[in-house]
Amino acid sequence: MGFLSVLSMAHALVEDRVRKGETVVDATVGNGVDTLRLARVVGSQGRVYGLDIQQAALDAARRRIDAESGDNAGSVELTLRGHEAMEAVLPPPLHGTVGAVMFNLGYLPGAEGELVVTHVDTTLPALEAALRVLRPGGLVTVVLYPGHEGGDVEANAVESWAKELPQVQYQVMMYRFMNRKTSAPYLIAIDKR
């Protein structure tokens, strides 16, 4: 048996931490892989808030969720907004109660036309917002893709930001395959104490 992929590790961490009925956030919906996984974890009594700046991503995610989530499709609310708008999208009573926030940075796989990528100037404020909306014991996962143009800059900035989080309030881990190219994806996970 080999190690879990970076994305599978993010899913495993979330599944271990999040409870049925909780509220969670997919900060970068993309094609809806994380959104679907979150919907299954929280179940029909929970709530998934998904954000993306591309309507094509939200459309693809909705198709996936409707086709594959069964009774959990109604628990997913998708919003055409950037991840930095997370606090504005979440109703204020939910701030400080969220079980997990997932980020899958980079770009929308299979997108047509001009490549739309995540950027440091919105990602870092989104990560700060994620920490504010989390409950104690909540988890943030960030899958980073340094292999595309600008991806290394974003990955380095996120890594530097995460290293500076106070240890009294957060535990931060990195999951990375060391014998792969430095451009290979990797995971940063943040546990809020």
pLDDT above 80 for 11: yes
Question: Scanning the structure block, which residue is given the tokens 């998708």?
Answer: 78
The pLDDT-based confidence of 98 (bands split at 50, 70, 90) is very high
Q: Is the pLDDT of residue 181 over 90?
A: no
Assign 45 to helix, strand or coil.
coil
Residue 14, pLDDT score: 98
pTM, rounded to two decimals: 0.96
Residue pair 78/111 in contact by the 8 Å Cβ criterion = no
pLDDT tens figures, 17-48:
999 999 999 999 999 999 999 999 999 999 99
- Count Cβ neighbours within 10 Å for each residue of 102-140 and write b for 16 or more, e otherwise: bbbbbbbeeeeeeeeebebeebbbbbebbeebbbeebbb
Per-residue confidence band for 182, with pLDDT thresholds at 50, 70 and 90:
confident
Res. 115 pLDDT band, cuts 50 70 90: confident
Digit-coded pLDDT (tens) for 125-177:
999 999 999 999 999 999 999 999 899 999 999 999 999 999 999 999 999 99
| pLDDT confidence bin for 70, thresholds 50/70/90 | confident
